[in-house]
Amino acid sequence: MSDHAGMFDHAEPAPRRGMPDFVHVPHPWLHERARKGPVKTGDERIGFNGRLGARITAVVGTMWVAYIFCLLALISLPGAVSSGDTVVIVAWIAQTFLQLVLLPIIIVGQNVQSAAADKRAEQTYKDAEAILHECLQLQAHLQQQDGILEHIISAAGGTGNEESAPA
């Protein structure tokens, strides 16, 4: 939970004679947001199939698997080349080499992009927390000023709701 969540609970309006009191009502999402935190890629893995798919992706999506698949594809290269058939060679390149080797490399790239997206989400969340904290500080400062202004108006003998004369 954020360090400023308690500020929601004790924002009191400054007393103002003759003026309607301002009552701060925090948006309901603020409490929920502080409780949940930023959404991460790992939050989307739900149920057995999601966990299994994530585990397989984690294993297959490594450069070591790409190297192994490359060696596996190269085992059949001599047979494709020795056939002398252009269609067989092109099929080997497209169906064997590219598919076997590119699959884990693409997954590695997606994992890198996912980690970067999680970092951006975390940073955006922290930025929103900081902005919220600053807004709450401004609100508290304005409420303090309201109290001081009321005190000054009261000390001057005013009621706080007189119309100011045009200059």
Please say if the pLDDT value at position 6 is more than 80.
no
Contact by Cβ (8 Å): 37, 125: yes
pLDDT at 8: 47
The residue behind tokens 């060696």 is 71
Tens digits of residue pLDDT in 94-144: 988 888 889 899 999 988 888 898 889 888 888 888 898 889 889 889 988
Q: DSSP 3-state assignment of 17?
A: coil
- The tokens for 118 are 């999680």
66 contact partners, CB below 8 Å, separation of at least 6? 101, 104, 105, 108
Please say if the pLDDT value at position 165 is more than 80.
no
Q: Which amino acid is at 40?
A: K
Phi, psi torsion values for 112, nearest 5 degrees: -65, -45
Tens digits of residue pLDDT in 140-156: 899 889 889 988 988 88
Instruction: Give the Cα separation of 4 and 83 in Å (integer).
Output: 72
Distances in whole angstroms, Cα of residue 92 to Cα of each of 69, 98, 103, 128, 130 = 13, 8, 15, 52, 55
pLDDT at 5: 52
Instruction: Give the Cα separation of 162 and 40 in Å (integer).
Output: 54
Instruction: Give the Cα separation of 110 and 1 in Å (integer).
Output: 30
Report the b/e string of 51-83 with b at 16+ CB within 10 A: eeeeeeeeeebbeebbeebeeebeeeeeebeee
pLDDT at 1: 45
Q: What does the pLDDT average to over 49-70?
A: 88
